[in-house]
Structure 1
């Protein structure tokens, strides 16, 4: 992702502002301990805001189309590991020993046995969590399905009506506090066992076939024209698959991974799942 597509500010307009006391604690983070009760109160209140969705780590600015990162939110999460002590917890027969408790509030969310979500992650009403994992700071929008064995990494931002298919790996990022998280926008589909990491961006309505690897530096090409598109981004309302592009090295010719845009969809076009499956199969790709 180009840095021109990213704005990092100390307290970004991504929801209710977090208190300036977070910055003060950050400046003396090396001296913080679990005995700092005042710091504990500030940090837990901030992470509660992320958990409820009142605040969020990052969002796409609807005016500039840039990813806006709230650096203060990232700092609050990192500070939690300094002011929170290791505590035992349990879920049914399972036992845990961690600084962060599991998430407890799931208003309007379906949570299938085996799903794990950490406190500080937000799931909007209508989300379905199959046996999966959502890390702290992540945001999952209304109507989204996080399918079996899918992982939503720390601070990843997943939009509304998204389907993360089985085994999808959405990368997380905590440090540095200015690092850009993965953003998967509304109406997107990410096929089975795909990996989206390093602040890559799946734009609105994009459909990724199975096994796609998308990083911030992945080259993206249009199959119809051969034109190279912005790196690390699946274009909006497009159908994409993983591919390779030949590159010469001293040791010979090798295929380097890239993302291939097979088709463009009309903006807002809804595609029947069976039609998507058939399109991918035509090109020898499963979903």
Structure 2
């Protein structure tokens, strides 16, 4: 992919310098952008990769996505009898069945430049945005959104009405990561580049974002922006620093996430309170 990377980076420099734009891009530029989108959909390139224990954004891939918005004009397209206006058509899904994947009708949308692996199930209405990667054997359930550049691993279950946020800009920031064999309960929200470690199970309606602390009871530490691998996580509310404010009685509480060992089904309420207060 080094040749394609060189072409995208060169085109990005020209675009950034104002040498090329939507009104001046031609066949050569569009051929580069089309080859880039094809490589994304084929899974040959991706918006982020794991190096050692850390996920890092591939800046040039995110630049290529932004170039598709900056160098293309809005056109009219048809999908399911509906006319829509965008700079890109939706992804072609004819080959999904060849690799054992299915996307149910009436509202399932995969945008051009998104990768959907083998043996996946996309239940309607679900939306997978440009640059997103859905690994083999993953279920994207009804009313789910997989945001731009989000990296979803293999054999993941995204419960119904789950939101996986997108991180397209700034290009150096890694997107939301959900590693292999994760199960997210219905109504979960994962945003702002949060990393969900492999084999984890997350309770329904849990909000995972770098602004909310994760109380990891396994390693007895407080984390931000990540849930370690092999954890069972759920939402709790802990006392806020403004609990003693004169304007209200009864205390104020803020959300937190508690992470336990996968083998620990539940903790007694008194044990949870003791850990959180410590």
Length-normalised TM-score, structure 2: 0.85
Match of 2:30 among 17, 27, 40: 40
Tell me if structure 2 keeps the 8 A contact 1:186–1:205: yes
1:166 to 143, 160, 177: 160
SS at match of 1:19: helix
**For structure 2, which runs of at least 5 residues remain unmatched after alignment?**
270-278
Q: Are 1:87 and 2:75 an aligned pair?
A: yes
Question: 1:68 offset after TM fit, Å?
Answer: 2.3
Match of residue 244 from structure 1: 237
Q: 1:229 aligns to what?
A: 222
Structure 2: distance between partners of 1:91 and 1:22: 29
Give the drift of 1:54.
0.9
90-99 vs 150-159, greater mean Cα deviation: 90-99
Aligned position for 2:260 = 262
1:213 corresponds, among 204, 207, 210, to: 207
Contact in 1 for aligned 2:239/2:253 (Cα 8 Å): yes
CA separation in 1, counterparts of 2:199 and 2:70? Answer: 39
Note the C-alpha offset of 1:262.
3.3
Give the superposition deviation at 1:251: 2.6
> Take 2:226 and 2:43, find their aligned partners in 1: how far apart are those partners?
26
* 2:99 paired with 1:111: no
Shift of 1:19: 2.6
Matches within 5 A, 1:80-229: 80-105=68-93, 106-107=95-96, 108=99, 109-113=101-105, 114-131=107-124, 132-223=126-217, 227-229=220-222
Q: Which residue of 2 aligns with 1:276?
A: none
Secondary structure, aligned partner of 1:67 = strand
Cα deviations by residue, 1:149-199 (Å, 9 ceiling, x for unpaired): 000000000000000000000000111111110000000011111100000
Q: Secondary structure at the match of 1:243?
A: strand
Write the distance in 2 (CA, Å) between the matches of 1:224 and 1:238. 8
Task: Give TM-score, length-normalised by structure 1.
Answer: 0.82
Q: Is the 8 A contact 1:34 1:40 kept in 2?
A: no
Residues matched between the structures, number: 253
Shift of 1:83: 1.7
Q: Which runs of 5+ in 1 are unaligned?
A: 1-15, 267-278
Give the Å deviation of 1:265: 4.1
Paired residues of 2:216 and 2:223 also in contact (CA < 8 A): no
RMSD between aligned alpha carbons? 2.2
Distance 1:19 1:248, change over 3 A: closer
Cα distance in 2 for partners of 1:190, 1:93 equals: 33
CA distance in 2 between partners of 1:192 and 1:34 (Å)? 44
Structure 2 counterparts to residues 275-286 of structure 1, below 5 A: 279=265
Match of 1:3?
A: none
Task: Give SS of 1:240's match.
Answer: strand
Partner of 1:25: 11
Distance change >3 Å, CA 174–CA 222, structure 1 → 2:
closer
Q: Is the 8 A contact 2:153 2:180 kept in 1?
A: yes
Give the distance between the partners of 2:142 and 2:209, measured in 1 at CA: 22
